Amino acid sequence: MANVAMLTLLKPERNCVDFIRSNILLIGLAIGSAIMLLIPMFKKNAGGVPNLTAPEAVTFINRSNALVLDVRDDAEFAAGHIADAMHIPLANLEARLGELKKYKNKTILVNCQRGARSVKACDILRKAEFTQVSNLQGGLSAWVGAKLPIVKQTNNAPAKAATKAVTKKVTANTVAANDEIVKDPS
């Protein structure tokens, strides 16, 4: 009688193992799907820096008077940038942190072309104890994709000439004299 009871207790364990063996692909698919659904939630605030979509970034810039920091190279910046963006290429950011000291406790929106370099720049800024840093998710490509205006240099002035302007609302009134607003860069 005791042997029958033991066999009955072992059967559910055996059934579970058989179930897992026969449905391993479906179980793997369910676990993979769960992971893929959770990844965007973890990426939203990767490294403690919020990622903002282009429309959120416009609101962020206008409400908090944020500094827009463009970390692309000179040629990319000259081809088009967010109005009043300060330009410091990622390769020079650590060496030029002194230029940003006055913004240490102010809001900064960092952007690059697609969002990868700006994440690195946000990490550098956070390590340098900048407290209110945000990343433009998708970079300038997302900004242009949302049909938001960019500024292009129209003369042959160096790209650094446009870096003097900082923290003003993103409107047509803030474009520098040597720049023009371009709504559709294509």
Structural domains for the chain: 2-43 (no CATH), 49-182 (3.40.250.10)
Query: Rounded CA gap, 52 and 41, in Å?
Result: 13
Q: What is the pLDDT of residues 42-90, one digit of tens each?
A: 655 555 688 899 999 999 999 999 999 999 999 999 999 999 999 999 9
Q: What is the pLDDT of residue 163?
A: 38
Q: What is the pLDDT of residue 81?
A: 95
Across the chain, mean pLDDT equals: 79
Percent of the chain with pLDDT over 70: 70
DSSP-based three-state secondary structure for 17: helix
CB atoms within 10 A of CB 139: 25
Question: Which residues lie below 8 Å from residue 19, measured CB to CB, with a gap of 6+?
Answer: none
Query: Rounded CA gap, 2 and 12, in Å?
Result: 17
Lowest mean pLDDT among 18-27, 70-79, 172-181: 172-181
Q: Kindly report the pTM of this predicted structure.
A: 0.62
Closest CA to 168 of 73, 110, 86, 100: 86
**Cα dihedral value 8, 10, 12, 13, nearest 10:** 180
If you write DSSP's letter for every residue of 112-140 in order, what string do you get?
Answer: -SSSHHHHHHHHHHHHTT-SEEEEETTHH
Q: What is the pLDDT of residue 176?
A: 41
Q: Single out the catalytic residue among 109, 112, 159, 170.
A: 112
Tokens read off for 170: 């993103």
Q: What is the pLDDT of residues 155-167, one digit of tens each?
A: 544 444 333 333 3
122 counts as catalytic? no
Q: What is the pLDDT of residue 96?
A: 94
Q: What is the pLDDT of residue 3?
A: 57
Query: Rounded CA gap, 136 and 123, in Å?
Result: 14
